[in-house]
Structure 1
Amino acid sequence: MADQLTEWHGQGKTTSVPVRGVPRAVFRRVTGSGSPLFLLHGFPASSFEWAGVEPLVARRHTVVTFDFLGFGASEKPKKHRYSFFEQADLTQALIASLGFEAVTLVAYDYGAIVASELLARELPFRIDRCVFLNAGLYADQYRPRLIQRASLWPVAGRLLARSLTERQFVRSWSRVFSPEHPLDPGTAALHYRALRAGDPDPDLTARLLRYIPERAAHRDRFEPVFTGTEVPLSFLWGMRDPVSGPRIARELRSRKPDADLVEYADAGHCPHLETPERVATDILTRTGLRS
């Protein structure tokens, strides 16, 4: 009997998407019907993290999930210098290839940085709404875990990336889940398998983590988006998150007192994995609003 990850991949397909003049193999799924809704995943996971939310929101939307370059079942070019600007190019190209004139974005963690870049661009399509889940929206309020900070050091980063076992992965990731909704080890093992799929560069996780200094270096481009864009924004926030929880929520409230911010008192860094039904309901409530 196929496990959930195998079924997830079996119901999608890998397609070629041109990114900066280079054709890239990108895994994607398209389910449901209705207005287009893109679910953008975080680090260190893949589109599979939306498995609990996707079928619920697909009742009212055409839902597109995909793996960013270097993640999941998408291409993992060895020795590649990953950038979320490139991931935004990929997302934009994928939307164009599907022929959508307007989309809604739901963006979590790493995906939220990509969504922020898209909001800062002049685009050939319209973004009707963007729903953010826990992410380091403000660089000075973001608190990456020790293993993430260490992974940014050139030598230590390579050593940590090459020695990342499933047990270490599960232990590290479990620390950002709430006590009320702990990480299931079996589910975590599937996410680890997705991370290591395709015999990737042994330095992969260290290379992907370069998004942290890259985001900080471009904060003047991204942070004004959350108060200045004309696109309606919503924020669904796990308040037990030690990485980007209460500090980010408070900063958002101070800069945008009227922000549509939903605080989940019993959820950690991954509300869509911890309480997918509640998150799906709140997404659908917001995609049903008229801007």
Structure 2
Amino acid sequence: MADLTPRVAAWQRSGTFEQVGRHRIFVREREGSPDLPPLLLLHGYPSSSYDWRDAFHSIDGHRLLTFDFLGFGLSDKPRDVQYSLRIQADIAEELAQRYAGEPVVMVSHDMGSSVATELLARDIDGTLSFTLKSALLFNASLVREQASLLLGQKLLLSRLGPLVTRATSEFYFRRSFGSIFSAAHPLTAEEEADQWSLLSHNDGHRMLDKLIYYNHERVTPPTSTRWHKAIRTWTGALELGWAGLDPICTEAVLQAVLNLRPNTPVTRLPGLGHYPQIEDPESVYELIQRHASQS
């Protein structure tokens, strides 16, 4: 197990661990004005809530809540769990209940945006245990059939997944993770070290094939049908933020989402890759602040 970098260790000290069901979940939150809606920030695969670290000095006024999904970052990483999006949505629900019925603004990226679609579906069903005010979804393979998966992702989803996982090294991670950043905003050595320390914490890099399981759910009914319907029919304010140079969640994915939900407001982030909040945090947090103030 790799040691946490000093930056990640400081991030860990700034948060807490909460018991959710049988597992410890790393949570980072900030107090703010009770007159403003709280923000729930959901991260992507294979990273963690650390992706949202700049929110805590870039977003004014709002209460903030983010956490590491089960199996990710600093949270518990059990080997005997089927990592369904439903499990991650359960955790998000339990943690968001601290706002006691206040309308919550949900902001999500990548896998977190897929978890968000399950939360939208629960809201439609009338079973969601917190009040959802609006949703801002960043790049995600919301229509997975249109996504351009990396070779490594395809292998992890195949029968070779366990072998690929066992062979995962920091060198391999650096090449793969770096390939989804834009040329103008490349993955830095510091960021790579931080992300690897979080991924490899408690040997999380040895379960990548388990963590990517949710991709099967996104193309298999009834879950795929449920989540597409949620995008199409949720009656709340839904907005998209889309990085234009994302090699995975391409323009084809965006157009497929807009086909499900025409006239959805889209803020394009040209020149950015798959992790816009890391590449250009100023632009991303200006968008989040605006969305939260208008919702």
TM score, norm. by length of structure 1: 0.92
Alignment correspondent of 1:53: 55
SS of residue matched to 1:198 = helix
Runs of 4+ deviating beyond 6 Å? none
Pair 1:7-2:6 in alignment: no
Alignment correspondent of 1:64: 65
Counterpart Cα distance in 2 of 1:96 and 1:245: 34
Shift of 1:100: 4.9
The 8 Å contact of residues 76 and 201 in structure 1, kept in 2 or not, is answered as no
Higher fraction of helix: 2
Counterpart Cα distance in 2 of 1:192 and 1:266: 25
The 8 Å contact of residues 120 and 231 in structure 2, kept in 1 or not, is answered as no
Count of residues in correspondence between the two structures: 282
Shift of 1:170: 1.1
Task: Pick one of 234, 238, 255 that aligns with 1:233.
Answer: 238
AA aligned to 2:121 is: A
Counterpart Cα distance in 2 of 1:83 and 1:285: 32
Task: Pick one of 155, 164, 167 that aligns with 2:168.
Answer: 164
Alignment correspondent of 2:218: 215
Counterpart Cα distance in 2 of 1:211 and 1:28: 22
Map 1:97-116 to 2 at 5 A: 97=98, 99-116=100-117
Q: Relative to structure 1, is the Cα distance of residues 150 and 127 closer, same or farther in structure 2, using a 3 angstrom cutoff?
A: same
Shift of 1:124: 2.5
5+ unaligned residues in a row in structure 2: which ranges?
none
Give deviations 1:220-275, integer Å, cap 9, x for gaps: 11112223111101111011011012112222334434211011110111111111
AA aligned to 1:128 is: K
5+ unaligned residues in a row in structure 1: which ranges?
none
Give deviations 1:91-138, integer Å, cap 9, x for gaps: 111112453532111010010111100000021321111100000111
Alignment correspondent of 1:40: 42
SS of residue matched to 1:72 = coil
Pair 1:30-2:63 in alignment: no
AA aligned to 1:269 is: H
Counterpart Cα distance in 1 of 2:10 and 2:101: 26
Counterpart Cα distance in 1 of 2:29 and 2:78: 24
Give deviations 1:261-291, integer Å, cap 9, x for gaps: 011110111111111111000011111114x
Give deviations 1:150-206, integer Å, cap 9, x for gaps: 11123x21111112111110110111111111111221111111111124483x101
Alignment correspondent of 1:205: 208
Task: Pick one of 1, 6, 20 that aligns with 1:17.
Answer: 20
Moved more, 40-49 or 98-107: 98-107
Shift of 1:3: 2.2
Task: Pick one of 133, 138, 156 that aligns with 2:138.
Answer: 133
Counterpart Cα distance in 1 of 2:188 and 2:52: 15
Shift of 1:219: 1.7
AA aligned to 1:138 is: V
Alignment correspondent of 2:287: 282
SS of residue matched to 1:61 = coil
Shift of 1:27: 0.3
Moved more, 207-216 or 252-261: 252-261
TM score, norm. by length of structure 2: 0.91
Task: Pick one of 250, 258, 263 that aligns with 1:253.
Answer: 258
Higher fraction of strand: 1
Percent identical among aligned pairs is 31
Alignment correspondent of 1:77: 78
